Chain A
Amino acid sequence: MKMSGAEIIIKSLEKHGIETVAGIPGGAALPLGTNRAPAL
């Protein structure tokens, strides 16, 4: 399957039982907020 780095992180967190994260959004973190980030 094809996955972005952001998707790998989010799916990996889910595998570790994480349901909620706290955070501070911003430019560099934008790819984490989309289902499939466009490649730079």
Chain B
Amino acid sequence: MARSTGRPAVCIATSGPGATNLITAIADAKLDSIPLVAITCQVPLSLIGTDAFQEVDMYGLTLSITKHSILAKTTEDLPMIINDAFRIAQSGRPGPVVVDVPKDILSRIIEIEALPEPAEICNYSDHSKLPAKICSAIAERINSAKRPVLYAGGGIIASSAFDELKTLAEKNSIPVAVTLMGLGSFPCDSGLYLGMVGMHGNHSTNIIFDNADLIICIGSRFNDRTTGAAVQFGKKADIIHIDIDPSEINKIKKTFISLASDARSAMEKIIPMIEENSREEWLETCKEKRARYDKKHHSISAHPESVIRAVSAAADKDAIITTDVGQHQMWVARNYPFKTGRNFLTSGGLGTMGFGLPAAIGAAIANPEKQVICFSGDGSILMNVQELATLADLKLNVKIILLNNGQLGLVRQQQELFYNKNYIATTFITAPDFPEIAKAFNITGFGIDSTAPNSMTIEQCMKVHGPVLINVPVQEEYNVYPMVPPGESNIVMMKGEETEKSEPLKKAVS
């Protein structure tokens, strides 16, 4: 919900196992800087520390995966604590806050005059307060660059800096690459768009970054999935880093100039000092790299990349896309045409399998007028398959596209490429029948079978009203390419030319 609206969302759990079941979700929100208030209930104060029934120390457990954890000790403190939780979750770099409340604190009745108004959020959005010297130095360095690139992350989306990024890029003709969290921050149909940079980014984009003399990183944090071997990343370039969190500056890469600011305020201040430039030579070079290094789209209709493009063609233009984690996530990130922010919801930092379905349910509740599409894999959906019951109860407009290869594919891929094809714990020996699982939850389930003459197409399945699960068989040999081997420099990319098979799919699911 928070990812699709930009506003904080709330989850509540009972003590013990209820609370520990939130731990992964809280860590997920921390790594992706998502404003979340998690209220966990606790055993009564007098029993804390006695190993009471369903007691676990949530305050201690969540300290390292939250912006702040609070244990309420009196009922009188609750109004201030809830206000603080929202203020902290939204201020500066967003993130999760845990409020642990013992049962007797919840039950106690007190005399109270009035609840306080929501606290003011400190969001640094006043660009007049940014240091003028640093801002003009950044503008000068951009103006004097010969081969600049913009590297845009989730911070663009968090601060809704879409127009500013577009203006900055277009005014000075700077190509824009995005991270997984930054997808949608820049329109993919712009001539300046380079797609993703990094492990599963475009080969050309990684080469362009290697040739750049200036990398302008805004709202991102040089994660290893983006940089590859960080020492090699942008080694011919000066680095400008703009991030709301000063602790990210110089953490991974030494910067030439840095500015601790939210993305929008920084760009608002810098754009007037940026000169117009057409950069014909540099843009021509980028175009050549793209033509030379990037492979054409797959022509095989059963390839997941083709399936994703077919789904995007059939989907509403403003559909919200969620993914789980794995090969399907990378195929979606690489192939779905994202034009606006907050319509791609994915677990970026933590890589949480099981994220897609509950995220789709939240997005559908928060955006009842929109279509929500959840791309998942057979491995991922099983991690939270019980949420099909919630989906059925609420009858939400969620279409689940299940790319089913019978494998934990991205792990299998690494076993194939880097661990001598020693496939351990990555194959589903007994494949579940997912359309039947959906039907058991009272959700419409379809199996796409390209070998059957009268099989429904994805487009037809997606037109069915209400929640739908569409199982799409995928050959297990399909890997996500291109790929930078973990720990390697980004310019070492495996392209993995797949043999085009014309025989029918191995698995036909009813």
Q: How far is the CB of B59 from chain A (nearest CB, A)?
A: 14
Q: How far is the CA of A40 from the CA of B45 in the complex (A)?
A: 12
Q: How far is the CB of B402 from chain A (nearest CB, A)?
A: 22
Instruction: Mark interface residues in A2-27 (1 if CB within 8 Å of B CB, else 0).
Output: 11111011011101111011111111
- Taking a contact as CB atoms under 8 Å apart, the answer to whether B79 and A22 are in contact is no
Cross-chain contact of B54 among A6, A26, A37 (Cβ < 8 A): A26
| A contacts with B, residue count (CB < 8 A) | 33
Q: How far is the CA of A29 from the CA of B112 in the complex (A)?
A: 22
- Taking a contact as CB atoms under 8 Å apart, the answer to whether B112 and A4 are in contact is no
Check if B106 is an interface residue, CB within 8 A of chain A.
yes
Q: Evaluate whether A20 and B365 lie within 8 angstroms (CB atoms) in the complex, with A26-B54, A28-B43 already known.
A: yes
CB-CB contacts below 8 Å: B341-363 with A: 358, 362
Instruction: Mark interface residues in B15-54 (1 if CB within 8 Å of A CB, else 0).
Output: 1101001100000000000000001011110000000011
- Taking a contact as CB atoms under 8 Å apart, the answer to whether A21 and B12 are in contact is yes
Check if B405 is an interface residue, CB within 8 A of chain A.
no
- Taking a contact as CB atoms under 8 Å apart, the answer to whether A16 and B86 are in contact is yes
| B contacts with A, residue count (CB < 8 A) | 48
Look across to chain B and name the residue whose beta carbon is closest to the beta carbon of A12: B82
- Tell me whether chain B's interface is mostly helix, strand or loop, or mixed: mixed
Cross-chain contact of A40 among B79, B104, B112 (Cβ < 8 A): B104
- Taking a contact as CB atoms under 8 Å apart, the answer to whether A13 and B115 are in contact is no
Check if B118 is an interface residue, CB within 8 A of chain A.
yes
- Tell me whether chain A's interface is mostly helix, strand or loop, or mixed: mixed
CB-CB contacts below 8 Å: B44-96 with A: 44, 53-54, 72, 75, 78-79, 82-83, 86
Q: How far is the CB of B55 from chain A (nearest CB, A)?
A: 9
- Taking a contact as CB atoms under 8 Å apart, the answer to whether A2 and B13 are in contact is no
Q: Evaluate whether A39 and B18 lie within 8 angstroms (CB atoms) in the complex, with A8-B79, A28-B42 already known.
A: no
CB neighbours (8 Å) of B483 from chain A are none
- Taking a contact as CB atoms under 8 Å apart, the answer to whether B362 and A5 are in contact is no
CB neighbours (8 Å) of A37 from chain B are 106-107
Cross-chain contact of A28 among B15, B83, B115 (Cβ < 8 A): B15
Give the residue among B22, B41, B104, B110 with the most A Cβ atoms within 10 A: B41
- Taking a contact as CB atoms under 8 Å apart, the answer to whether B109 and A3 are in contact is yes
Cross-chain contact of B12 among A8, A12, A29, A38 (Cβ < 8 A): A29
CB neighbours (8 Å) of B82 from chain A are 8-9, 12-13, 16
CB neighbours (8 Å) of B79 from chain A are 8, 12
Q: Evaluate whether A12 and B107 lie within 8 angstroms (CB atoms) in the complex, with A17-B7, A27-B54, A28-B14 already known.
A: no
- Taking a contact as CB atoms under 8 Å apart, the answer to whether B78 and A40 are in contact is no
- Taking a contact as CB atoms under 8 Å apart, the answer to whether A9 and B111 are in contact is no
Q: How far is the CB of B4 from chain A (nearest CB, A)?
A: 12
- Taking a contact as CB atoms under 8 Å apart, the answer to whether A18 and B54 are in contact is no
CB neighbours (8 Å) of A8 from chain B are 75, 78-79, 82, 112, 115
CB neighbours (8 Å) of B464 from chain A are none
CB neighbours (8 Å) of B9 from chain A are 18, 21-22
Look across to chain B and name the residue whose beta carbon is closest to the beta carbon of A22: B11
Look across to chain A and name the residue whose beta carbon is closest to the beta carbon of B52: A28
CB neighbours (8 Å) of A16 from chain B are 8, 82, 86, 118
Instruction: Mark interface residues in B107-124 (1 if CB within 8 Å of A CB, else 0).
Output: 111111101011000000
Q: Which 8 A-B pairs have the closest CB atoms?
A: A26-B14, A28-B41, A28-B15, A23-B12, A31-B106, A12-B82, A29-B14, A24-B18
**Given A2-B110, A4-B106, A28-B41, 18 new contacts (CB under 8 A):** A2-B109, A2-B111, A3-B109, A5-B72, A5-B78, A5-B110, A6-B107, A11-B115, A13-B82, A17-B7, A22-B1, A22-B11, A22-B12, A27-B14, A28-B16, A32-B41, A37-B107, A40-B107
29 contacts between A and B (CB under 8 A): A1-B111, A1-B113, A4-B75, A4-B106, A4-B108, A4-B109, A4-B110, A5-B72, A5-B108, A8-B112, A8-B115, A9-B39, A12-B78, A12-B83, A13-B82, A20-B366, A22-B9, A22-B10, A26-B54, A27-B54, A28-B14, A28-B41, A28-B42, A29-B14, A37-B107, A38-B107, A39-B107, A40-B103, A40-B104
